[in-house]
């Protein structure tokens, strides 16, 4: 009786082990015929950075400041004559830029006064920092007729775009 029981126990044990091993091998078999390969990508974008800086003015009657990063604010206190103010545009970014537009807001300028921007023009390109030329210089000119007597101010606003987006 004891021998029979032992034999049964041994058979069941062997069957269990065989089943377990079969399951293990099935798992290994599944892993065997698949493989995964991959392409991992990282895209790091550059940036546009432009700094506008006022330069020397031709007279104490005229002053120039930067009201925001892309706008020059020009003021005249004792008009009548020809005045100029220099400015510099620096590209501090990693992408070349072009000047899309130069907008002179003449709404506060008296009649007869002529305002112009020279040295830089729409479509001009400023290379990225570290690449020549990453800086350009321009000048705002104001011609006030002899009969002018008012103080006034106006803004010159520049719009910069990534070089290949210029239209």
Partner 1 sequence: MRLRGLKRKVRLGRWLIIALVVVVVVGSLGVAYGYTSGTLRAGDMVSMACVTGPFTWVVSNDDGKVTNISPYGAIDPGDNGGGTNHDIWGRQSSDDPSEPQTRGVECARYDKDVARTTACMSCDHHEITVLVENAYPSYYPTVFFGMKNTQNFSVKIKSIDISYDTPELTVTFDGITVDQVLSPGEEVIGRLKIHTEQCAHQDSTYNFEVKIVLVQEGKSGCCCWHWWYCWHWWHGWHWNWWW
Q: Does 72 bind partner 1 (CB under 8 A)?
A: no
For 88, other C-beta atoms within 10 Å of its C-beta total: 15
Burial of 21 (0-12, 13-18, 19+ CB in 10 A): exposed
Q: Does 69 bind partner 1 (CB under 8 A)?
A: no
With CB under 8 A as the contact rule, the residue among 33, 60, 107, 146 that binds partner 1 is 33
CA 60 to each of CA 2, 51, 84, 113: distance values in angstroms, whole numbers, following the listed order: 120, 24, 11, 18
CA 166 to each of CA 100, 111, 132, 160: distance values in angstroms, whole numbers, following the listed order: 6, 33, 20, 9
Q: Measured from the CB atom, is 47 or 121 closer to partner 1?
A: 47
Q: Does 80 bind partner 1 (CB under 8 A)?
A: no
Number of residues that bind partner 1 (CB under 8 A): 40
With CB under 8 A as the contact rule, the residue among 14, 15, 114, 159 that binds partner 1 is 14
Q: Does 163 bind partner 1 (CB under 8 A)?
A: yes
Residue 62 CB-half CA count within 13 A = 26
Rounded to 5 degrees, what angle do the CA atoms 153, 158, 160 make? 170
Stretch that binds partner 1, among 22-30, 69-77, 115-123, 142-150 (CB under 8 A): 22-30
With CB under 8 A as the contact rule, the residue among 1, 41, 107, 146 that binds partner 1 is 41
List residues binding partner 1 (CB under 8 A).
Answer: 14, 17, 21-22, 24-26, 28-48, 93-96, 127-128, 130-131, 162-165
């Amino acid at each position: 009786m004891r021998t029979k029981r032992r034999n049964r126990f041994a058979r069941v044990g062997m069957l269990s082990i065989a089943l377990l091993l079969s399951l293990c091998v099935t798992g290994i078999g599944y892993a065997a015929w698949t493989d995964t390969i991959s392409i991992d990508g990282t895209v790091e974008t550059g940036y546009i950075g432009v700094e506008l800086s006022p330069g020397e003015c031709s007279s104490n009657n005229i002053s120039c400041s930067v009201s925001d990063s892309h706008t020059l604010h020009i003021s005249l206190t004792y008009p009548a004559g020809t005045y100029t103010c220099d400015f510099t545009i620096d590209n501090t970014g990693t992408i070349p830029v072009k000047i899309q537009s130069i907008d002179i807001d003449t709404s506060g300028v008296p009649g007869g006064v002529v305002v112009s921007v020279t040295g830089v023009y729409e479509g001009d390109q400023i290379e990225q920092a570290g690449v020549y030329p990453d800086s350009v210089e321009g000048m705002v000119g104001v011609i006030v007729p002899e009969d002018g007597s008012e103080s006034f101010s106006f803004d010159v606003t520049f719009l910069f775009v990534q070089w290949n987006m210029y239209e």
